[in-house]
Amino acid sequence: MSRDAGGERERGTNRGRGVIEGAFALLDALRRCGGEAGLTEIAAACALPKGSAHRLLEQLLLVGAVERRGSQYRVGSQLYRLGQVWEPHPGLRVAARHPLHRLRAVTGASALLTVLHDGRALTVASVPGEVEPLVPVRNGMSFLLDTAAGQVLSGQGRAGSGGRLAGAVLECAEVMDGVCCAALPVRGRDDRTIAALAVMTLSAQGLQRAAHEAALAAAAVTAALSRGSLSPCLPPVLHY
């Protein structure tokens, strides 16, 4: 292969990489804009000329990664379906589904499962509860590591109280006024913490009970993972 041919291939690769980076910048801008925005707002959010942003959005429309309603763009259903395939640990989201829903049912609190990702506690499964007006719980949202879930994941939390609540981190109004949280570790087969199961409530008085119920839920997820009976080829879980 000639030097000119090699240079042309490298330039083509760089152009392809630039298009991909630009497309992901647009998608991330949509996320930061609340999931739906117009061309001007999107272009400004990712520091792209409006013409370039428009061309990329039109390409994303063709493959279903973006949808358009009037002059507003939003993330498309195809991207959502692909995102549901992502699994931070084999079987984790499937194992957490029923324990999280039970936890929400018996406490009324918001229940969520987080993993350590890019230096934050990333929510991978959730069931909204009573803190929804203050802290809307959604899959994909992330928390700083000074939160209860973040402390469990980073190993920086206070020592657990032993027994059922071993490894738990409890905090009340330390991160957000009016919101109390308890988080407990979910462990893999090697006893390593792979996730934090958290419950958020508006009641300081009910935090201990919520923490005990969260401990049961975390133990149920850990047990399901240790049995290894969950197939990573199961259909993606729909959250509602």
Characterize the bridge pairing of strands 110-117 and 120-127: antiparallel
pLDDT confidence of residue 164:
61
Whether the CB-CB separation of 24 and 60 falls below 8 Å is answered with no
Q: Between the CA of residue 64 and those of 67, 149, 222, what are the distances in Å? A: 7, 34, 37
pLDDT one-digit tens code per residue, 166-183: 789 999 988 788 899 999
Q: CB atoms < 10 A from the CB of 163, how many?
A: 7
pLDDT confidence of residue 111:
96
The pTM assigned to this predicted structure is: 0.69
As a whole number, mean pLDDT of residues 218-238 equals 68
pLDDT one-digit tens code per residue, 76-88: 888 777 777 777 8
Bridge partner list, 198: 112, 183
pLDDT confidence of residue 232:
42
Range name among 104-108, 190-194, 228-232 with the lowest pLDDT average: 228-232
pLDDT confidence of residue 100:
97
Whether the CB-CB separation of 222 and 191 falls below 8 Å is answered with no
Locate tokens 């018996």: which residue?
Answer: 106
pLDDT one-digit tens code per residue, 3-61: 554 444 444 444 445 788 888 888 888 888 877 899 999 999 888 889 999 999 999 99
Q: What whole-number distance in Å separates Cα of residue 37 and Cα of residue 53?
A: 12
What lies within 8 Å, CB to CB, of 121 at 6+ separation is 114, 115, 142, 143, 144, 145, 147, 149, 150, 153, 196
Mean of pLDDT over the chain: 83
Range name among 8-22, 44-58, 112-126, 196-210 with the lowest pLDDT average: 8-22
pLDDT at 224 over 50: yes
Tell me the CB-side half-sphere exposure of residue 227, using CA atoms within 13 A: 9
Candidates 165, 43, 182, 42; CA nearest to 109 is 182
Task: Write the single-letter amino acid at 170.
Answer: L
pLDDT confidence of residue 35:
79
